[in-house]
Amino acid sequence: MNETTNKPLSVYLETYGCQMNVADSEVVLSIMNGAGYRRTAELENADVVFVNTCAVRENAEERVYGRIGDFWHYKKDNPGVVIGVLGCMAERLRKNLLESESAVDIVVGPDEYRRLPELVENALAGEKGIAVRLSRVENYDDIIPLRTEGISAWLSVMRGCDKFCTFCVVPFTRGRERSRTLHSVIKEVEQLSAQGFKEVTLLGQNVNSYRDDAYDFADLLASVARVDRSMRVRFTTSHPQDMSDKLIETIAAHENLCKYIHLPVQSGSDRILQLMNRTYNTEHYLNLVEKIKRTIPGVSLSTDIISGFPTETDDDQKMTIELIKRVGYDGAFTFKYSPRENTKAWHMDDDVPDALKTTRLNEIIEVQREISWKKNQQEIGQTVEVLIEGPSKKSDEDFCGRTDTNKMVIFPKGGLKAGEYCTIKIARANSATLFGTVVAQETKEVVAYAS
Ligand code: 5AD
Ligand code: SF4
């Protein structure tokens, strides 16, 4: 509470990085809300400024540093304001962020958010603070995230990662794998359904290793799917080593489990995959893709690819391009390798010059763009079911929404509303988007969950 105005103190929060961070930010806001703080969307109104950060690549960190610089100016004009750095960068850089010149008052890692109110209170009294212990058990099971109303919700079901891919800092910033209970996830999905959410995405660094006693991720997905059949269920991210047949069959068996799988391959070269400690080879990966395509007709697949990992040659790059073509992804997220402290690859020579990393990255992007374009052309003349998300960014006359396979569709609004399902006939397409017109609106049967 502000003692002069008698108003609750306001928290302004910016989130960088993955969806996991978006979900964590909602947990942070819930904790702060419980301690009497209110959220503000304007920096100018903030008594407390949080930045939830990502440390996965160097450029993500550079953006955050830039932002901390802006907050430093804000704090110069408003000396009582508390600035907090949260998330993976807080865990990675720890005390370095608190050096005396810095605007930063508190540094809090991903497993210590329950301590935020106490740390903020101390900081308001002028005492800087740090909390960066990683936990083997913290999963915020009992905290209902403070979500803004909407169509689509993120829900984290497990935290941390035990995979130790040699390029990845996540096992060091988010610690060991731990899962929430199936019961608590189901309860939260029931609430989301009651609040009118139409889509939920289950999150974890490696959702395939979800476990609650005898229940695995396939059991969790099936249970979530049963809560509300009018709600779409998505999940990310899957590790190719841990994707079971049972999981693939479960996706095929439930209509509201979306036919879209993000399955990061990282490289098409077995030698590089081994250096990355990905624990599978391309043969395993391609067999898995075949099985997925056979079992889930019409499935769409996306991937992550790193270009320029240490020792990567032109031949390795060719193998990656070859694999992309063989799989025929619907989309790919592509990254230039950047060395991260603490990881095994940090000790390898980062020997692919930056310009070559860029050339390889651009080649991959171009090959994928062509594949996506061809795949989208095949949608022309088809009808697809779309969940309406809201107005299209480019035109007020149009809505945008997604197919079950995660393709963006733009169409004239008609008399429809966001959150409704409709059937769209596709008229044209580019490599990123489908365009069409409404042929029917749909009502979906709602089936209550019975355990
Ligand atoms: N350099 C480049 N890309 C990385 N990723 C993770 N660590 C690095 C790194 N050090 C990419 C991987 C991962 C995605 C989330 O980020 O492709 O799947
Ligand atoms: Fe990082 Fe590998 Fe874990 Fe993914 S599976 S979070 S890339 S260590």
Average pLDDT over all residues of the chain: 94
Q: How far is CA 58 from CA 21, 53, 94, 347, in A?
A: 17, 12, 16, 16
Q: Which ligand is nearest to the CA of 18?
A: 1
- First-residue to last-residue Cα distance in the chain: 44
Sheet holding 300-307, edge to edge: 260-262, 300-307, 331-336
450 pLDDT above the threshold of 50: no
Q: How far apart are CA 83 and CA 398, in angstroms?
A: 40
237 CA closest ligand 2 atom index: 4
Helix, strand, or coil (residue 351): coil
- Please work out whether the CB of residue 309 comes within 6 Å of at least one atom of ligand 1: no
pLDDT digits (tens, 9 = 90+) for 325-334: 999 999 999 9
Half-sphere exposure of 381 (CA within 13 A, CB side): 3
Ligand 1 in contact with 113 (CB < 6 A)? no
For 119-134, how does the pLDDT look when each residue is reduced to its tens digit (9 = 90+)?
Answer: 999 999 999 999 999 9
Q: Ligand 2: which of 162, 170, 278 to mutate, judged by most atoms within 8 Å of the beta carbon? A: 170
Contact 219, 182 (CB under 8 A): yes
Tell me if 56 CB under 6 Å of ligand 1.
Answer: yes
CATH among 3.30.420.40, 3.40.50.12160, 3.30.43.10, 1.20.1250.20 for 10-131:
3.40.50.12160
What gap in Å lies between CA 261 and CA 242, rounded to an integer? 13
Query: From CA 223, how far away is CA 403, in angstroms rounded?
Result: 22
Q: Domain 383-442 has what CATH class?
A: mainly beta
User: How much is the average pLDDT of 55-63?
Assistant: 91
Å from CA of 56 to ligand 1 middle: 6
Domain coordinates of the chain in residue numbers?
10-131, 149-160+167-258, 265-377, 383-442
How far apart CA 305 and CA 276 sit, in angstroms, is 12
The CATH number assigned to the domain with range 149-160+167-258 reads: 3.30.750.210
Bridge partners (DSSP) of residue 119 are none
Per residue in 213-231, pLDDT (tens digit) is 999 999 999 999 999 999 9
265-377 has the same fold as 149-160+167-258: yes
In this prediction, residue 4 carries a pLDDT of 64
**DSSP classification of residue 394:** S
Task: Answer yes or no: is the C-beta of 163 below 6 A from any ligand 2 atom.
Answer: yes
The residue assigned the tokens 């995959």 is 273
**pLDDT single digits (tens) 10-34:** 999 999 999 999 999 999 999 999 9
* 295 half-sphere exposure, CB direction, 13 A CA radius: 19
For residue 273, report the distance from its CA to the centre of ligand 1, in Å.
13
**What are the C-alpha distances in Å from 43 to residues 11, 14, 110, 321?**
9, 10, 23, 44
Ligand 2 contact, 205 CB (< 6 A): yes
Q: Taking every pair of C-alpha atoms in the chain, what is the biggest distance, in angstroms?
A: 68
What integer is the mean pLDDT of 50-57? 95
Q: Are 428 and 413 in contact (CB under 8 A)?
A: no
> What pLDDT, on a 0 to 100 scale, did the predictor assign at position 361?
98
Predicted TM-score (pTM) of the model is 0.94
What CATH architecture is 265-377? 2-Layer Sandwich (3.30)
Contact 307, 361 (CB under 8 A): yes
